[in-house]
Amino acid sequence: MSIYYLQKLIYQLNRDEHVRQRYERDFEELLADYPLDDVERTALREPDIGLLYVMGVNGQLLMHYAALRGYEWDDYLQAMRDGVERHGPVRAGLYAMTGT
Amino acid sequence: MSLVFAGVCSHAPGITGRYERADKAQREGFYARMHAMRRRLEAARPDALIVVAAEHFANFFMDNMPAYCLGMANGYEGPVEDEEWLGIGKASVPGNADLAERLIGVVMEDVDVSYAQEWKFDHGVMVPLNFLTPRYDLPVIPANINCQGPPLTPLKRAWKFGESLRRACDEQSERIALIGTGGLSHWPCTPDSGKINEAWDREFLDRWVRDDYSGMTGYSDAETYRDAGQGGFEIRTFVCVAGATAGSPREILFYEPIPIFAVGCTVGIVHL
C-alpha cells in the first residue's frame, strides 16, 4: 500500500498539464513512475473510483480524477458509496480518522 | 493606511459549478448577498485584496505542506480545475509582489509563514473572486492555511496569524481588504456530500459575531471532524479574519444550507 504515491500521482495529474499529456499519451508509462502495487494500478486504470476512495484517496483529489475519467457528479458520489459497500470502510487517510 | 474591508464567505465549487441544480430562490438570495459584499468591498476602495483560503491540493501536497503560506507574485492563474466543471473560465489575476513581501516581513515576526512565487488558484479563491472582483482588476494576495491534511495548525495559531496579518496591513500605505473563505460543517466530495450540521454552523457563526475567542478556538480537531466533517477544518479561515478584526462588530448577511452546493452558504462582514 502506498496511499501517499497514489495520491501524488492524482495530484500531479490534476494540476500539471505535462503530466496530463503523458497520461493521455501512455498511461502505463506514467503509472510506472510511481511505486504503486498492482491493486492500486488496477484501481487507477479501470478506474475503480469506489476502491480508490476506500484505499484512502482524499476526495479533493479524487473528484477531479473521476471527472477526468468521465464521471458526472452524482455518479462520482454513487461510485464511492458502492465502493464502501463492496470493499468495506475507508482504510487509510483522513476519512479513516474515526475508524468508521 | 490600514485594513479597509474584512469579511468571510463560502467558496464551494458547487456554488458556480452546480448552480443550476440549486433551488432558484435560495441560490439567488445567496448570490445577492455576495453581490452586496462586492459593493461594500468596492466602496472601501482597496488597493489590494488578501484572500485567506484553504486550498485543496492545487499547490501544496503532503511532500511539503506549509501550515501558512502567502503568495508573493505579480500575477496568478486560475482556476486549476476544469473550467466547465467549475463554471468559471481560465483567467489571469493580478498580484502585488512588493506589497506581499512587505506583509510577509511583518507576519514573520510572529508566524513562520511560507511564501510562494507561483500559485495556481483553485475554487477556494476563484469562486469568491468570481463574485467579488469579476473583472479580475484588483491585485490579490493569496494566503493559505492548511485545512486539508492533518496535522493541522491549532485554531489559536490561525487567530494569531490573523492578528499578525492585521498588524502587517496597518504598517502599509496601501488600502487593504481581507476576506476569509471556507466552509463551516461539510463533508465535501465524499459520499456524505450535501450533509450540513446547521446547528453547529449557527453556533460557530454566533461565536464569530460575538467575537468569542474561546468559543471559536475551543474546538479540538476530533470534535470538529465528528460534528462538522473534514470540511469543518476550514473554520480556520474565519478564525483568522476574527483574529485580524478583534473588537470590531460583525454581521452575517446570509447563512443557509444549500445541500447541492455541499455547504451552508455564508456571507459575513466586519464593520471596521
- Alpha-carbon distance B216 to A9, whole Å? 36
Q: Is 90 exceeded by the pLDDT of residue A99? A: no
pLDDT in tens, B18-44: 999 999 999 999 999 999 999 999 999
pLDDT-based confidence at A2, cuts 50/70/90? confident
* Mutation to test the A interface, candidates B189, B224, B260, most A Cβ within 10 Å: B189
Q: In chain A, which residue's Cα lies nearest the Cα of B121?
A: A15
Q: What predicted TM-score, i.e. pTM, was given to this entire model?
A: 0.96
Q: List, in order, residues 6 or more apart from B32 with CB less than 8 Å away.
A: none
Instruction: Please report the number of interchain residue pairs, chain A to chain B, with beta-carbon separation below 8 angstroms.
Output: 61
Look at the block and give the residue holding cell 461510485.
A79
Q: Do A97 and B63 touch (CB under 8 A)?
A: no
What are the beta bridge partners of residue B50?
A: B141, B178
The number of residues in chain A equals: 100
B120 touches chain A (CB under 8 A): yes
Out of A7, A8, A59, the one facing B189 most closely (by C-beta) is: A59
Q: In chain B, which residue's Cα lies nearest the Cα of A72?
A: B85
> Average pLDDT over chain B, rounded to whole?
97
pLDDT-based confidence at A98, cuts 50/70/90? low
B149 touches chain A (CB under 8 A): yes
Residues of chain B with pLDDT under 70: 1
A63 touches chain B (CB under 8 A): yes
- CA-wise closest residue to A72 among B28, B21, B33: B21
B148 touches chain A (CB under 8 A): yes
Cell of B248: 470590531
pLDDT in tens, B141-174: 999 999 998 999 999 999 999 999 999 999 999 9
Q: In chain A, which residue's Cα lies nearest the Cα of B77?
A: A15
- Alpha-carbon distance B180 to B200, whole Å? 19
